[in-house]
């Protein structure tokens, strides 16, 4: 049975373009494969733990092989349920808006929590290796145009989609597809056209 994890990066709910396109993709996948188990993780509704002194100390103790204190172990144990949802997933769908050329801070918080040694990656003297498997779809939405030749070319201003692709590669997921929606702040007609194109692309990808 296939498990699909939808990682929701926008707080806008039904008004979110990225969430709407992701939902279209998931609905199309379910129509083709009704037994898919969909796990939705909304970073704005999830009670994400604080990564404070005990958690960061546990992180470095794990790297150096130092035994954890009870407080450090408790802090570290709060991370594993979140990591498990990624490890269990056969497919990861990430809907992520661009905020100030990057990703929303709650999504970054989630990534910082789960991207830990022996949870999502390993390393030794030969380098790093990811521990996640499966495939992913990144749905990235942006307010303006990031094409080459504009005032905001993607090569200089994209710390959103590029970051997500780098993170997925680092944790071991290399079968990654993307849908990018732009010009969402160029008026209702441009927004509607971009969302419609994104949904059409989502339906097409769901059939592959």
Q: Is 167 annotated as a binding residue?
A: no
Q: Domain count of the chain?
A: 1
Token pair listed for 195: 């969302």
Question: Rounded to an integer, what is the distance from CA 152 to the centroid of its chain?
Answer: 23
Q: Provide φ and ψ at 178, rounded to 5°.
A: -135, 150
Q: Rounded to whole angstroms, how far apart are CA atoms 166 and 23?
A: 24
Q: Is 99 annotated as a binding residue?
A: yes
- Which residue matches tokens 């307010």? 143
80-88 and 105-114 helices cross at what angle (nearest 10)? 90
Contact present, 191 and 14 (Cβ < 8 Å): no
Q: pLDDT-derived band of residue 151, with 50, 70 and 90 as boundaries?
A: very high
Q: Is 170 annotated as a binding residue?
A: no
Expressed as residue numbers, the domain containing 134 is: 3-206
Q: Is 129 annotated as a binding residue?
A: no
Helices (H), 39-142: 53-64, 70-77, 80-88, 105-114
Question: Is residue 11 over pLDDT 90?
Answer: yes
CA atoms within 13 A on the CB side of 35: 2
- Over range 16-35, report the average pLDDT: 98
Q: Is 16 annotated as a binding residue?
A: yes
What does the pLDDT look like over 34-77, one tens digit per residue?
A: 999 999 999 999 999 999 999 999 999 988 989 999 999 999 99
Q: Helix or strand or coil: residue 29?
A: helix
Q: Is 44 annotated as a binding residue?
A: no
Domain at 142, CATH number: 3.40.50.360
Write down the pLDDT at residue 208: 83
Q: Helix or strand or coil: residue 166?
A: helix
Total length of the chain:
208
Q: Rounded to whole angstroms, how far apart are CA atoms 82 and 160?
A: 22
- Over range 154-175, report the average pLDDT: 98
Q: Provide φ and ψ at 186, rounded to 5°.
A: -95, 25
């Amino acid at each position: 049975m296939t498990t699909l994890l939808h990682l929701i990066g926008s707080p806008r709910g039904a008004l979110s373009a990225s969430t709407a396109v992701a939902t279209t993709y998931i609905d199309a996948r379910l129509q083709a494969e009704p037994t898919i188990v969909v796990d939705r993780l909304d970073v704005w509704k999830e009670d994400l733990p604080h990564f404070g002194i005990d958690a960061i100390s546990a992180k470095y103790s794990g790297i150096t092989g130092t035994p954890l204190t009870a407080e450090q172990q408790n802090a570290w144990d709060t991370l594993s349920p979140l990591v498990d949802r990624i490890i269990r997933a056969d497919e990861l769908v990430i809907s992520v808006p661009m905020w100030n050329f990057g990703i929303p801070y709650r999504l970054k918080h989630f990534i910082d929590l789960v991207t830990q040694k022996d949870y999502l990656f390993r390393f030794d003297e030969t380098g790093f290796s990811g521990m996640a498997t499966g495939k992913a779809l990144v749905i990235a939405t942006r307010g303006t145009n990031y094409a080459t030749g504009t005032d905001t070319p993607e090569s200089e201003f994209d710390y959103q989609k590029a970051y997500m692709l780098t993170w997925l590669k680092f944790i071991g997921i290399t079968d990654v597809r993307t849908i990018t929606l732009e010009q969402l702040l160029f008026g209702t007609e441009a927004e509607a056209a971009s969302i419609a194109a994104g949904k059409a692309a989502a339906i097409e990808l769901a059939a592959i």
